[in-house]
């Protein structure tokens, strides 16, 4: 009898299986796992592997289903390989670069003699379908890097050679399906035939490795799901997202504009957009003041020496703008933390003064590449609801949990669900290992004591400290990063911040960098798409519009407008000599919550007829009742 090993599905008793010929697929079959067709890969002792991976010792196994998060990522990555194979088959001489899975889909970047266009996609899709029909196995191999370099050179693939040379590893992993071999860590589906429903969506330009000084490539995007029903639902969401695009609605609702003659990444807020922004900022100030924050305002320019002291010059200067004034170098602030630390250090602080919470609606500038700019979502100038909390180390967890409370209350007002991610120390960072461990521990313990689920993003923290990122889910179930909580021991050390403790000695405070909404511009872009431009009453730039039926109703309409304005409501009038149906249609297109119709009957009874933007008509009410209704709805922030 040959050697046997004990294997079990996670949470079930183990069984003994002969090791000869044992791999993930045969092990799952021996364990009588149902619906094998829906399995994309396998976890062996918690690590995701290809299904054909050999099993040589006892192990706990877990099938990775095609429609799970991990399974979909594997499916989409496999679809990217098939797309690259199809492009190579159809367009000889194409050089392939990288093709990852992304949220909802995948892409691959190609270097061809011309840029790919949307008209190329149907032909590529057809060839992909043929490759999927062939059901080609994905075959994994591990070879010395030198052999891989020779192979890709012979294939005319310089980008793959560059990637391998940069890896500086002795061996690399390749995957082959049919006549296509790619550099890839995997894992992949067992074969191309396992790829479910897919569709190529669009083409864009992308610089090699995101560097504008390197080659411009063609990036082809696609989406893939385990079944057609899921793909159809996703495509429907994409179509809805196009309708909700904040850049389109921003023009239609006259909220903002971005002009090339002004400069990319710079936003002009029109009156309606400026009112919306003012409402959000006024709301934020009130919410911060009642939670013990103090208002602060820092300058836009700070001497470059300060940015060197903080570490931004060494770790962040590619995102900064600099200028010289009278032979002195200054940096335009990309963050607000320096001024807040200078406020703290302006006098001696006692432990009795802590925590100090400085809040600023601070406008910052960051050098974003033109290729990543995206309306309000990604701009070069934006305002953050930025705060910095300086506290004693033993106050740290309480302050973090207070911020989590704050985030929860604010997100509930806007109707957002959210998840948490904790990002740990990146390679490019400052501070001691001990400080990073303390900071990371404080974040994790705060979240766990708060009883909130989270996931870890290894190496994705800020250069000065680990962070919690709050990932919002909007009405279309898309994820957005807005709020963040960063724990920092490094900058208080660099700026020699201190407080006098109960023992009369100087001690070093901890610092929390945090935003609740994040960039005001970005949050407004998300809100526009979340609400499809139909803002709740308290946020609507125009809350009501008065529509007259005839010219003889204008005087009464003006009286109503004055009464609403005196009650602090945002109101417009439409007294044009146009049909009422035309006026109503225009007001609905502007997504104004209340259309207030006044005619002869309303004049006689001293009332107003209400039409809601969803088309519902309400019975006539007096102006007093109308004001009470609008006030109640606004205060409840419905």
- Contact assessment for residue 81 and residue 183, using Cβ atoms and an 8 Å cutoff: no
Collapse the DSSP code of 421 into the 3-class scheme (helix H, G, I; strand E, B; otherwise coil) and give the result. strand
590 and 519 part of one domain = no
Distance of CA 578 to CAs 452, 558, 561, Å? 56, 17, 19
Q: Which CATH number characterizes residue 370's domain?
A: 3.30.930.10
The partner residues of 488 in beta bridges, in order of sequence, read: 511
What pLDDT score was predicted for residue 586? 95
Of 219, 234, 337, 349, catalytic? 337
Number of folded domains that form the chain = 4
Residue 43 lies in a domain: yes
- Catalytic residue check, 487: no
* 581: Cα within 13 Å, side-chain hemisphere: 0
Distance of CA 587 to CAs 149, 283, 467, 544, Å? 64, 26, 44, 9
Evaluated on CA atoms 354, 358, 359, 365, the torsion sign reads negative
- DSSP for 176-211, please give it: EETTEEEE------SBGGG--EEEEEEEEEEEGGG-
- Contact assessment for residue 533 and residue 630, using Cβ atoms and an 8 Å cutoff: no
Collapse the DSSP code of 415 into the 3-class scheme (helix H, G, I; strand E, B; otherwise coil) and give the result. coil
Distance between CA atoms of 563 and 573, rounded to whole angstroms? 13
CA neighbor of 73 nearest in space, from 109, 37, 42, 104: 104
CB atoms within 10 A of CB 505: 9
Kindly report which listed range (29-38, 234-243, 395-404) carries the lowest average pLDDT score.
29-38
Distance between CA atoms of 314 and 15, rounded to whole angstroms? 56
Distance between CA atoms of 125 and 105, rounded to whole angstroms? 14
292 and 432 part of one domain = yes
74 and 61 part of one domain = no
Residue 638 binned pLDDT confidence (cut-offs 50, 70, 90): low
Nearby residues of 441 by Cβ (< 8 Å), 6 or more positions away:
none
Residue 201 lies in a domain: yes
Residue 126 lies in a domain: yes
pTM of the full structure: 0.80
1: pLDDT strictly greater than 60:
no
- Contact assessment for residue 116 and residue 28, using Cβ atoms and an 8 Å cutoff: no
Residue 527 binned pLDDT confidence (cut-offs 50, 70, 90): very high
Length of the chain: 638
- Catalytic residue check, 467: yes
- Catalytic residue check, 140: no
- Catalytic residue check, 119: no
Question: Range of 353's domain?
Answer: 256-298+335-530
- What is the C-alpha radius of gyration for the chain, rounded to an integer number of angstroms? 30
- Catalytic residue check, 182: no
461 and 345 part of one domain = yes
275 and 197 part of one domain = no
Kindly report which listed range (19-28, 316-325, 375-384, 443-452) carries the lowest average pLDDT score.
19-28
Average pLDDT over residues 336-362: 96
Evaluated on CA atoms 330, 334, 340, 345, the torsion sign reads negative
Of 81, 513, 590, 591, catalytic? 513
145 and 212 part of one domain = yes
DSSP 8-state class, residue 541: S
pLDDT in tens, 621-636: 999 999 999 999 999 8
Mean per-residue pLDDT of the chain: 92
Q: Which CATH number characterizes residue 32's domain?
A: 3.10.20.30
Distance between CA atoms of 606 and 494, rounded to whole angstroms? 68
The partner residues of 350 in beta bridges, in order of sequence, read: 500
What pLDDT score was predicted for residue 375? 92
Q: Which of 479, 499, 530 is the last residue of a domain?
A: 530
Residue 363 binned pLDDT confidence (cut-offs 50, 70, 90): very high
**Token code pair at residue 411:** 């997100």
Which of 210-214, 241-245, 372-376, 402-406 ranks highest by mean pLDDT?
A: 402-406
Collapse the DSSP code of 562 into the 3-class scheme (helix H, G, I; strand E, B; otherwise coil) and give the result. helix
Residue 444 lies in a domain: yes
CB atoms within 10 A of CB 460: 15
DSSP 8-state class, residue 355: -
274 and 388 part of one domain = yes
What pLDDT score was predicted for residue 58? 85
2: pLDDT strictly greater than 70:
no
Nearby residues of 118 by Cβ (< 8 Å), 6 or more positions away:
202, 203
- Catalytic residue check, 243: no
Residue 47 lies in a domain: yes
Q: Which CATH number characterizes residue 136's domain?
A: 3.30.980.10
230 and 282 part of one domain = no
Distance of CA 47 to CAs 28, 42, 50, Å? 15, 8, 10
Evaluated on CA atoms 359, 362, 365, 371, the torsion sign reads positive
Q: Which of 14, 41, 65 is the last residue of a domain?
A: 65
- Contact assessment for residue 311 and residue 339, using Cβ atoms and an 8 Å cutoff: no
- Catalytic residue check, 388: yes
Collapse the DSSP code of 257 into the 3-class scheme (helix H, G, I; strand E, B; otherwise coil) and give the result. strand
Distance between CA atoms of 581 and 363, rounded to whole angstroms? 43
575 and 594 part of one domain = yes
Q: Which CATH number characterizes residue 631's domain?
A: 3.40.50.800
CA neighbor of 82 nearest in space, from 37, 121, 124: 124
* Helices 623-635 and 554-566: angle between axes, nearest 10 degrees: 40
Average pLDDT over residues 432-449: 90
CB atoms within 10 A of CB 251: 14
Distance between CA atoms of 149 and 159, rounded to whole angstroms? 10
11: pLDDT strictly greater than 80:
no
46 and 159 part of one domain = no
595: pLDDT strictly greater than 80:
yes
576 and 500 part of one domain = no
Average pLDDT over residues 127-146: 95
Distance between CA atoms of 279 and 564, rounded to whole angstroms? 18
Share of the chain above pLDDT 90, in %: 76
Distance between CA atoms of 345 and 310, rounded to whole angstroms? 14
Q: Which of 530, 552, 574 is the last residue of a domain?
A: 530
421 and 434 part of one domain = yes
pLDDT in tens, 396-412: 999 999 999 999 999 99
pLDDT in tens, 485-509: 999 999 999 999 999 999 999 999 9
Q: Please tell me whether the peptide bond between 355 and the residue prior to it is cis, using omega within 30 degrees of 0.
A: yes
Of 356, 357, 467, 613, catalytic? 467
Average pLDDT over residues 352-364: 97
């Amino acid at each position: 009898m040959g050697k046997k090993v004990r294997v079990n599905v996670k949470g079930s008793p183990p069984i003994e299986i002969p090791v000869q010929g044992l791999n993930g697929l045969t092990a799952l079959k021996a364990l009588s796992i149902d619906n094998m067709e829906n399995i994309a890969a396998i976890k062996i002792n918690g690590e995701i592997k290809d299904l054909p991976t050999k099993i040589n010792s006892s192990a706990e196994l877990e099938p990775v289903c095609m429609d799970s998060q991990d399974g979909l990522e594997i499916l989409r990555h496999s679809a990217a390989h098939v797309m690259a194979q199809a492009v190579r088959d159809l367009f000889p001489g194409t050089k392939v670069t990288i093709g990852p899975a992304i949220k909802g889909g995948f892409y691959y970047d190609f270097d061809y003699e011309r840029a790919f266009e949307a008209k190329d996609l149907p032909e590529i899709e057809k060839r992909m379908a043929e490759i999927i029909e062939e059901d080609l196995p994905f075959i994994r191999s591990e070879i010395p890097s030198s052999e891989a370099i020779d192979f890709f050179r012979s294939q005319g693939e310089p980008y793959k050679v560059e990637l391998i040379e940069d890896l500086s590893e002795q061996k690399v992993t390749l995957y082959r399906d049919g006549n296509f071999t790619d550099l890839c860590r995997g894992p992949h589906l067992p074969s191309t035939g396992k790829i479910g429903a897919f569709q190529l969506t669009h083409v864009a330009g992308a610089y090699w490795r995101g560097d504008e000084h390197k080659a411009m490539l063609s990036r082809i995007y696609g989406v893939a799901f385990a079944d057609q029903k899921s793909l159809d639902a996703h495509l429907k969401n994409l179509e809805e997202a196009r309708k909700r695009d904040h850049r389109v609605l921003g023009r239609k609702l006259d909220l903002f504009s971005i002009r090339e003659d002004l400069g990319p990444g710079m936003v002009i807020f029109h009156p309606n957009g400026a009112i919306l922004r003012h409402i959000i900022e006024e709301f934020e100030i009130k919410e911060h003041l009642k939670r013990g924050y103090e208002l602060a305002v820092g300058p836009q320019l700070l001497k470059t020496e300060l940015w060197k002291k903080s570490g931004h010059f060494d770790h962040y200067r590619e995102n900064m703008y600099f200028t010289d004034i009278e032979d002195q170098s200054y940096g335009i602030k990309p963050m607000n933390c320096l001024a807040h630390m200078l406020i703290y250090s302006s006098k001696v602080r006692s432990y009795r003064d802590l925590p100090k919470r400085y809040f600023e609606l601070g406008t910052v500038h960051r050098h974003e590449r033109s290729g990543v700019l995206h309306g309000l979502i990604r701009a070069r100038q934006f305002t953050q609801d930025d705060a910095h909390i300086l506290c004693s180390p033993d106050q740290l967890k309480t302050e973090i949990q207070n911020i989590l409370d704050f985030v929860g209350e604010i997100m509930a007002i806007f109707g957002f669900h959210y998840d948490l991610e904790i990002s740990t120390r990146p390679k490019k960072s400052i501070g001691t290992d001990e400080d990073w461990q303390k900071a990371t521990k404080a974040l994790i313990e705060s979240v766990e004591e708060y009883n909130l689920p989270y996931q870890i993003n290894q190496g994705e923290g800020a250069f000065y400290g680990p962070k919690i990122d709050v990932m919002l889910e909007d009405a279309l179930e898309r994820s957005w990063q807005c709020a963040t909580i960063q724990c920092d021991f490094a900058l208080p050390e660099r700026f020699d911040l201190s407080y006098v403790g109960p023992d009369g000695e100087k001690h070093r405070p901890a610092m929390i960098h945090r935003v609740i909404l994040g960039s005001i511009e970005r949050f407004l872009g998300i809100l526009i798409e979340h609400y499809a431009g139909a803002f709740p009453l308290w946020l609507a730039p125009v809350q009501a519009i008065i529509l007259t039926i005839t010219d003889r109703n204008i005087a009464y309409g003006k009286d109503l407008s004055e009464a609403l304005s005196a009650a602090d409501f945002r109101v417009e009038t439409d007294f044009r000599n146009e049909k009422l149906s035309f006026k109503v249609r225009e007001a609905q297109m502007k997504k104004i919550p209340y259309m207030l119709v006044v005619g002869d009957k309303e004049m006689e009874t001293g009332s107003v007829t209400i039409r809601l933007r969803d088309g519902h008509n309400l019975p006539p009410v007096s102006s007093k009742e109308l004001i009470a209704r609008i006030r109640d709805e606004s205060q409840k922030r419905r």
